[in-house]
Structure 1
Amino acid sequence: MVQASSHFIAICSDSIGETAEAVVQATMRQFELPDTEIKRFMNVRDEDELSRVMEEVAERKGFVAYTLVQPELREAMKEEAVRLNVRAVDIMGPMMQAFADTFHNDPKEKPGLLHRLDDNYFRRVEALEFAVQYDDGKDVSAILKADIVLLGVSRISKTPLSMFLAHKGYKTVNIPVVPELTPPVQLKDVQRGRVFGLTIEPELLLKIRSERLKVMGLPNNVQYATAMRVEEEIAYAQSLFKELNCPVIDVTDKAIEETAGLIIRML
């Protein structure tokens, strides 16, 4: 029997719930809550379904973050929250009210407008497929087609950063930097300002690699996770970044979203 998580957060949405979950995830980083389950309840469009969601939240003693654009559903959510003594956080309601009050314009109140199948949606899908296909230097032939090229040593979060940028619509290639491997010759032909080097404090990288070996059940005394090797790789990466004259971002104390924001602003 699987033991329930200590903390339970429900995402309730009349669309896919991505907006509310993004807010929840960003907030969670401010707290030490290792044993937390986030569960999405998507396309909630009637009061009966909403009641079932709230019953589960109450039973699991959690709280709910919701994005419901229809006033009657938002009102039903408030009533259920009071009835079941569940904390409910309205992610979009106050923002829509601020827009309406300030700009004297009524909202459309149609679910799913953020994620409708427009050109931006298909651009994101194409970028995600691109990032998966060219992840971790699997195929460097597309370097010149990329909007962004990431360079960095192993375990510096190149892949999650690539996927986050792809979700924003940027075709991203990430290339591992290893002293024993010659960098792709195409790097020197990439348009200026599209190549970004990632660096990190050696102590943190050593810790990350050691944890990775532990998860894999491997001894932590292999060269990959020694201080000498980590410092060698970071120094080599720095020399490559200098040779390419590309911007360098230290990811040591940065969330993926923060690093992505820096890159996007520099494009």
Structure 2
Amino acid sequence: MGRHHVNLHLISDATGETLIAASRAVAAQYHGVCAIEHVYPMVRSHAELEKAIVEIEAEPGIVLFTLVEQDLARRLMEACAAIGAPSLSILAPIMSLFESYIGTAVTPRPGAQHSLNADYFRRMDALNYTLTHDDGLQSDSYEAADVVLMGVSRTSKTPTSIYLANRGVKTANLPFVPDLPLPKSVENLRNPLIVGLLASPERIVQIRANRLLTMNADPESPYVDRRLVAEEVAQSKKLFDARGWPTIDVTRRSIEETAAAIISLHKLHKMKFISAA
């Protein structure tokens, strides 16, 4: 069965991240469908909207939008109806639900979720911390972290750390190296949640082999020896179990799924930490 291509026009008065995430989540449910994304961010005037409408006319498809200005939303829906392109406001049903429950009409504020508020600066602070505490750097200041990730090489520590930072979670990560003792600064950490990341030896070997290939390195390196990798993983798990640190097997998990599990663990960790204080 061949892939069916669908034009997907995503029109936003902000960055378009909400639309992209929502549309990809839905498109992933349709096997054999390839969505060709046309993204139009920061559409806040009629002139900008008309440019998008011209492109929709040229390549008709599904139109999803997050336009809180009613005049713009109305014009887009009318244009889509004339073109024959189905359109949907992603925020409208949610805003309607909020309004019916709260009993207050919405106050349109394009891009409000990206305002420079305390949450924004918290995320930027977390990202700065995470970037400066990657791969074992500055381990003497891990006490300021919310989460410390540990695992053998190629268990997605860095990308998971960055994803968590974008959610406002200060994250440091530390590689597990067989027979190498933990830094003394890590021995008695109290504030951060320490999570061990695990993966099957086969998966780690596959990722490491691809990395060696991109580096034009020796493909017969011990770095990709299946027996040695299995021993690395076993030693890391033994350490995590001995310390009572929670573990997550990332073999078949996406970065987003791993991060979601860590955030849930961190919430429980904070509750225990507060109750023990």
Fold shared by both chains (TM-score > 0.5): yes
Give the % identical residues.
34
Most deviating of 226-235 and 203-212? 203-212
Superposed CA offset, 1:12-52 (max 9, x none): 21122222223234445546789876554322112221221
SS in 1 for 2:172: strand
Instruction: Tell me the distance in 2 between the aligned counterparts of 1:124 and 1:43.
Output: 22
How many angstroms does 1:257 deviate by?
Answer: 2.1
Q: C-alpha separation between the residues in 2 aligned to 1:7 and 1:163?
A: 32
Shift of the 154–33 alpha-carbon distance from structure 1 to 2, 3 Å rule, reads: farther
| Residues 81 and 217 of structure 1, relative CA distance in 2, 3 Å threshold | farther
Which residue identity is paired with 1:120?
D
Q: Which runs of 5+ in 2 are unaligned?
A: 267-277
Q: Is the 8 A contact 1:55 1:84 kept in 2?
A: no
1:235 equivalent in alignment to 2:234:
yes
Shift of 1:111: 1.0
**SS in structure 2 at match of 1:24:** helix
Long gaps (5+) in structure 1: 1-5
TM-aligned CA distance change 1:61 to 1:151, over 3 Å? farther
Alpha-carbon separation, structure 1, partners of 2:119 and 2:57:
38
Q: CA, structure 1 residues 176+24, in 2 after alignment: closer, same or farther (shift >3 Å)?
A: farther
Query: How far is 1:180 from its partner?
Result: 5.2
Aligned partner of 1:3 in structure 2 is none
Q: State the 1:250 CA deviation.
A: 1.2
- Would you say the 8 A contact 1:224–1:230 is kept in 2? yes
Contact kept in structure 2, 1:193 and 1:246, CA below 8 Å: no
2-side partners of 1:208 and 1:62: how far apart?
37
**TM-score (normalizing by structure 2):** 0.82
> How far apart in 1 are the matches of 2:157 and 2:44?
38
In structure 1, distance between residues paired with 2:249 and 2:183: 22
TM-score (norm: length of structure 1): 0.85
CA distance in 1, matches of 2:38, 2:243: 44
Tell me how many residue pairs correspond in the alignment. 262
1:35/1:194 Cα in 2 relative to 1: closer, same or farther (>3 Å)? same
**Structure 1 partner of 2:257:** 258
CA contact (8 A) 1:130 1:171 kept: yes
